Structure 1
Amino acid sequence: MSTPEVFRDAALAVPGVLGMHAGPHGTAATFSTSGRVWGVRVGPDQLDVHVITESGRHLGELGREIQSAVRAVGHDYAGQIVVHIEDITVPQQNPQPDEAGTSASRTDTEEPRRTP
C-alpha cells in the first residue's frame, strides 16, 4: 500500500510545485510511522494534496499533472484525488543577499516547505 510520503514526494516532483502546504488551519496532514506528513490528507474515499506553486503556471493543468503523478504511485488507492493549490508565489528576479550573504527566497507569511 502507498504511504503519505510517497504521495507527497510524487506531488513535489511535478514541475512548478514548490512545496507542500498545511492547508486551512493546519489540518492538511496525515500521520505515518515516520511522523506527520504535511500537505497530504488520506481518507478512505478522498486523498487531498495541498501545494504551493509558482506564478505563471496554468492551475488546471498543474492540478491534472499532480493528480496523474499521485495516481501513478498510488495505483492501489481507489478514492478520488483532489488537489488544493493553497498559495502562489512570485519568483524574485534579483534576490537581495541577506546578512549571511545568502539569497532569501521565502517570506515570513509562507508555509515552510515540508520535506522528510
Structure 2
Amino acid sequence: MAAGVVNLLRLRQEETDGEWVFPNPKTGKPYHSCQNAWDTFRRRAAMPDLKMHDLRHTFASMMLDSGADIAGVQHALAHTQLKTTVVYLHLTEARKRTYTNAAAQATGVSPDSSQS
C-alpha cells in the first residue's frame, strides 16, 4: 500500500478510538459486507451496472497507462501468476497514439496531427 494511504488509515483509526478503521457506527464492530454501501454508491452515481471488479480493472489500466510495468501491476493486484495480469495489457487509444507517434518520430516520419 502507498505510504500516504497507510498514513490516512492510521489517522482514521485514531479518530475512531478503537481497533477498527471503519467500524459500524451502530455497533462499533467491523462490517461483514460492503454490499449495501456499494449498492448505495452505484445508485447515487447512476451507475447501476458498475461492478467492484471494474474499479480493479481501471486501477490496473491506469497503472499501465502511467508507465508501470506488468510485474508491478501483478504485484499491486496480488496476482500469483503473471498470466492472470496479462489481461490488463489491452491498449487504450491514448497508449496506441503514444506508441504510434513514438514509432513515427523514431523513423523520421511525421505523425499525422489529424490522427492524434
> Which is greater in Rg?
2
Would you say same fold, with TM above 0.5?
no
For CA contacts below 8 A with separation 6 or more, give which structure has more relative contact order.
1
Higher strand share: 1
Q: TM-score, normalised by structure 2?
A: 0.23
Higher helix share: 2
Q: TM-score, normalised by structure 1?
A: 0.23
